[in-house]
Amino acid sequence: MPLTRTPTKTTSRPAAHAPAGDTLLRADHVQLGYWTPRGFNLAVGDASFEVAPREKVIVIGPSGCGKSTLLKAIAGFITPTGGTISVSGRTSLEPGPDRAVVFQEFDQLFPWRTVLDNVAYPLRVNGRSRRDALARAQEYVELAGLAHAADRYPHQLSGGMKQRVAIARALALEPAILLMDEPFGSLDAITRQRLQAELNRIVDQTHVTLLFVTHSIEEALVLGDRVVVLGNSPSNVIEIVDVRDLGGPETVEYGQMRGHLRDLLAVDKPIADDEEEEVLDGDGS
């Protein structure tokens, strides 16, 4: 199926399709929410999208729109209240090593284990021999550029290094899909850029399928093949855009797409519009 690449100013429904071929992940009219003492709180109203094998799909949307909730449902931590999520054709999704998750927080490592053991431990839990687990862990620690720090403990690492360990640990499981929830959100701008480039390299080398949550348009453009744009909570998919082959930030296409995504994310903010009207009214009186 041809890919739509040209940014348009329309706010029409989801457009860019996953490349033809098997679908690895399919979210079909997914609805997600939480029971609170005051009743059911709907977070994701209706989300549908697909991810093809080896694709890099970014989920972007305003804070609180349900990005993490969606990722947790794909990981199998919570169950949709409506619609279905299927991964490799399966809809009954218990958490499992086929959907490894990397979170934003730096404290997702075991503090009492070395870098190498942090990466090896889930392999042991999933049935590999100690020798096998350590050999594979070493491989992924090297892939993440951490060979020199393999024997260090988490408290001896920078934030960026901790996130590299988390990425190595997730990839060592050789998941069908790598789920990442704002993994670089707590890093300084320079480290963040460096890790984005590193992630691109690692994903290209391992051919892992990526579903990456962010609220950064720049990050979406640097990392993604396609971007699923969610609106305010209870969210639905406003549009799906293809962002591969845009070239670097200096190209016209990149600038247009950045503008388009900014428009999309702003369009769905009626409160901001009201505020603007109020300001204008105030100015006019």
Ligand X SMILES: Nc1ncnc2c1ncn2[C@@H]1O[C@H](COP(=O)(O)OP(=O)(O)OP(=O)(O)O)[C@@H](O)[C@H]1O
* DSSP-derived secondary structure letter, 3: P
Q: Decide: is 68 part of the binding site for ligand X (CB under 6 A).
A: yes
Residue with Cβ nearer ligand X (114 or 235): 235
User: Residue 39 forms beta bridges with which residues?
Assistant: 36
Bridge partner residues of 27 (DSSP): 49, 85
Q: Considering the complex, state which of residue 47 and residue 120 has its C-beta at the smaller distance from ligand X.
A: 47
Query: Which one among 65, 146, 208, 227 touches ligand X, defined by CB under 6 A?
Result: 65
Number of H helices, E strands in the chain: 8, 9
Distance in Å, CB of 244 to ligand X, minimum = 24
Size of the site for ligand X (CB under 6 A): 14
Binding mask 10-49 for ligand X (x = CB under 6 A): ------------------------x-x----x-x------
Asked if 147 and 119 count as a contact pair (C-beta separation under 8 A), the reply is no
Choose between 3 and 42: whose C-beta lies nearer to ligand X. Answer: 42
Q: Which of 108, 209, 233, 236 binds ligand X (CB under 6 A)?
A: 233
Nearest residue (CB) to ligand X, 64 versus 259? 64
Stretch that binds ligand X, among 11-19, 57-65, 236-244, 255-263 (CB under 6 A): 57-65
Q: Which does 205 bind (CB under 5 to 8 A by kind): Mg ion, ligand X, none?
A: none
| From candidates 18, 24, 45, 67, binder to ligand X by CB under 6 A | 67
Residues 6+ apart with CB under 8 A from 163: 102, 106, 183, 184, 187, 195
Stretch of 56-64, 172-180, 238-246, 270-278 contacting ligand X, by CB under 6 A: 56-64
Contact residues: Mg ion, CB under 5 A: 68
Rg (CA), the chain: 20
Beta strands 39-51 and 25-36 are antiparallel
Question: CA dihedral in degrees (236, 241, 242, 246; nearest 10)?
Answer: -140
Distance CA 225, CA 241 (A): 9
Alpha carbons 95 and 78: distance in angstroms, whole number: 9
Among 9, 63, 127, 270, binds ligand X (CB under 6 A): 63
- Nearest approach in angstroms of CB 131 to ligand X is 39
Contact range with ligand X by CB under 6 A, out of 67-75, 191-199, 242-250, 263-271: 67-75
Q: Is the peptide bond before 19 cis (omega within 30 degrees of 0)?
A: no
**Which is nearer to ligand X, 43 or 203 (by Cβ)?**
43
Residue 188 to residue 94: CA distance in whole angstroms: 34
Annotate each residue in 103-122 with x if it binds ligand X (CB under 6 A) or - if it does not, as one string.
--------------------
User: CB–CB of 84/91 below 8 Å?
Assistant: yes
82 in helix, strand or coil?
Answer: strand
Distance CA 115, CA 97 (A): 19
Binding residues for ligand X, rule: CB under 6 A, are 34, 36, 41, 43, 61, 63-69, 215, 233
